[in-house]
Amino acid sequence: MECNHEASSLMHKYLDGDISNEEEKKLRLHLEDCEACQKHFRELKRTITLLQSTEHIEAPANFTANVMNRLPTEKKRMKYGRWFKAHPIITAAALFLIFMMSGVFSAWNQDSELVVSKQDNLVIEGDTVIVPEDVTVEGDLVVKNGNLVIKGTINGNVTLINGKLIENPIESEGLMASAGGVNGELKHVDQIFEWVWYNLKNLFRSIFAF
């Protein structure tokens, strides 16, 4: 057996626990004959013993506390992400609410044009709707994005959205203006929440109408 290479490679196999029974026998036989290899083997084993005898070092005091202090605070995005994953139903409800609200808001913002429910005999001047003196409107009247002047009579409910009811368009006609009348409810809607409320009420009313 060649001392330098083969024997030393067997020694390392032995030290790694990789050696087969046959190889071990071969190594033992060689070691009995070869003093140089015996010495080599002893030195290797002693090296390992020395390495294993070294004492362990302890981490400095406060090491854990220092690490904990240096940890990044959790990102808010992460926190929310985890929260959403943990509460899928609330997340779904919130999303639904957001879409619904945005739908209502865009409906509110979209039409800034004057809209008047279809009634005969109404006079429209710019963004003012006038119910002339001698006219009686049968049914409900809805005016959106415009003012309403009532000189005649309305036999129904009046809804004003984003507009004003002008009682006295011309001062000299003050007395005459009072001649106008509404034989029904007069509703005024010009805040967005009222608009939402109005829409919801309409929705429920239409549901219960069935």
Q: Residues in the site for another protein, rule: CB under 8 A?
A: 8-9, 12, 15-16, 18, 40, 43-44, 46-48, 50-52, 54-60, 63-64, 66-68, 70-72, 74, 78-79, 82
Query: How many other β-carbons are positioned within 10 Å of the β-carbon of residue 161?
Result: 19
Q: CB-wise, 25 or 42, nearer to another protein?
A: 42
Kindly state the smallest distance separating residue 52's Cβ from another protein, in Å. Answer: 6
Query: How many other β-carbons are positioned within 10 Å of the β-carbon of residue 23?
Result: 15
Contacts of 156 (CB under 8 A, 6+ apart): 137, 138, 139, 140, 141, 183, 184
Q: In terms of Cα–Cα distance, which of 115, 126, 123 is closest to 151?
A: 123
Q: CB-wise, 21 or 64, nearer to another protein?
A: 64
Kindly state the smallest distance separating residue 67's Cβ from another protein, in Å. Answer: 5
The 8-class DSSP code of residue 171 comes to: G
Q: CB-wise, 21 or 54, nearer to another protein?
A: 54
Q: CB-wise, 9 or 183, nearer to another protein?
A: 9
Kindly state the smallest distance separating residue 36's Cβ from another protein, in Å. Answer: 13
Kindly state the smallest distance separating residue 189's Cβ from another protein, in Å. Answer: 47
Kindly state the smallest distance separating residue 80's Cβ from another protein, in Å. Answer: 11
- Which stretch of DSSP H or E encloses residue 94? helix 88-110
How far apart, in whole angstroms, are the C-alpha atoms of residue 186 and residue 159? 6
How far apart, in whole angstroms, are the C-alpha atoms of residue 150 and residue 1? 123
Q: CB-wise, 72 or 126, nearer to another protein?
A: 72
